[in-house]
Amino acid sequence: MINRVFCLCAVFVFSAVALSSRIFAESVPFFPGESLTYELKWGVVPAGKVTFKVLPMTTIDGEEAYHFVMTARTNRFVDAVYKVRDRIDGFVAADFSRSLYYQKKQQEGGSTRDIKVVFDWESMTSQYTNYDRIRTPVTIEPGTFDPLSVLYAFRCIDPNETADYKIPVTDGKRCESGRLDSVEKTHLLTRDGNVSALLLEPDMSKVGGVFRKSKDAKLKIWLSDDEFRVPLRFSSKVAVGSFHGVLVEHVPGQDDTD
């Protein structure tokens, strides 16, 4: 139970949100070198930390790409019950139009996974493998993102344009899209004081795990109401309890285009 909640926290469950249908590479609100660290709690119990990083630009099959990394680890207290050490890598085309590759190295309890998702844009499919176990490719739509990279696409959102746009996301097993129920301008008390924020409530109807099994499950996400759209906090209430994450460290990236 702890591991399911922890991992849902780790990826923010952003695979079921609606986004602007057009994202321009020159207007993305983050740069290589950015690092975001969150402290996670299950109820009132500290569970661990999650860190998101934007690494230097790289190439995938000769195409320039953004490289995003998420690492998640439980603390010593939770380690005694269910140890988690995960790393997820997502790669997105430099024009921010689609994902190119996805990898997840997962160590949870006594099990491990080495998941890879290869995107074939000529055949419009993605293929999932876990070690030597290969699944049948699934059909994807134009502009499909992976479960990690969609977080960064999510930060490109225009708060004035959310109702009629969706973005497809695939984990290699299926391709889904969803909607954003509401975007509200508000204020949030943080370690830096009271700041302007955007409160978003994604529709959870197509999200699996504890959300699918929970009646009226809800997820709330607060983004900074500025050009950087930094995720400041997230929280949710599900059948197994409530969880939330708070940004504890933000290292900005460096724009090297100037």
Domain boundaries, the chain: 2-179
Alpha helices for 44-196 (secondary structure H): 76-79, 149-154
Q: What is the sign of the dihedral through the CA atoms of 51, 49, 12 and 201?
A: negative
3-state SS assignment for residue 254: coil
Q: Give the H/E segment covering residue 10.
A: helix 2-11
**Distance, CA of 105 to CA of 108 (rounded, Å):** 10
pLDDT tens digits along 137-175: 999 999 999 989 988 887 877 766 655 557 788 889 988
Q: Taking residues 73-101, what's their average pLDDT?
A: 92
Decide if pLDDT at 21 tops 90.
Answer: no
Decide if pLDDT at 211 tops 60.
Answer: no
Question: What pLDDT does residue 243 have?
Answer: 79
Q: Are strands 169-170 and 193-202 parallel, antiparallel or unpaired?
A: unpaired
**Distance, CA of 35 to CA of 32 (rounded, Å):** 9
Decide if pLDDT at 15 tops 90.
Answer: no
Question: What pLDDT does residue 102 have?
Answer: 96
Decide if pLDDT at 42 tops 90.
Answer: no
Q: Which tokens hold the place of 236? A: 């949710």
Decide if pLDDT at 179 tops 70.
Answer: no
Q: What is the sign of the dihedral through the CA atoms of 39, 207, 138 and 133?
A: positive
The residue that leads in pLDDT, 204 or 42, is 42
Decide if pLDDT at 8 tops 70.
Answer: no
Other residues' Cβ atoms within 10 Å of the Cβ of residue 117: 22
**Distance, CA of 247 to CA of 26 (rounded, Å):** 26
Instruction: Using alpha carbons, list the distances in angstroms from residue 88 to 103, 185, 188, 190, 203.
Output: 6, 31, 29, 27, 24
Decide if pLDDT at 61 tops 80.
Answer: yes
Question: What pLDDT does residue 78 have?
Answer: 86
| 213 contact partners, CB below 8 Å, separation of at least 6 | 238, 239
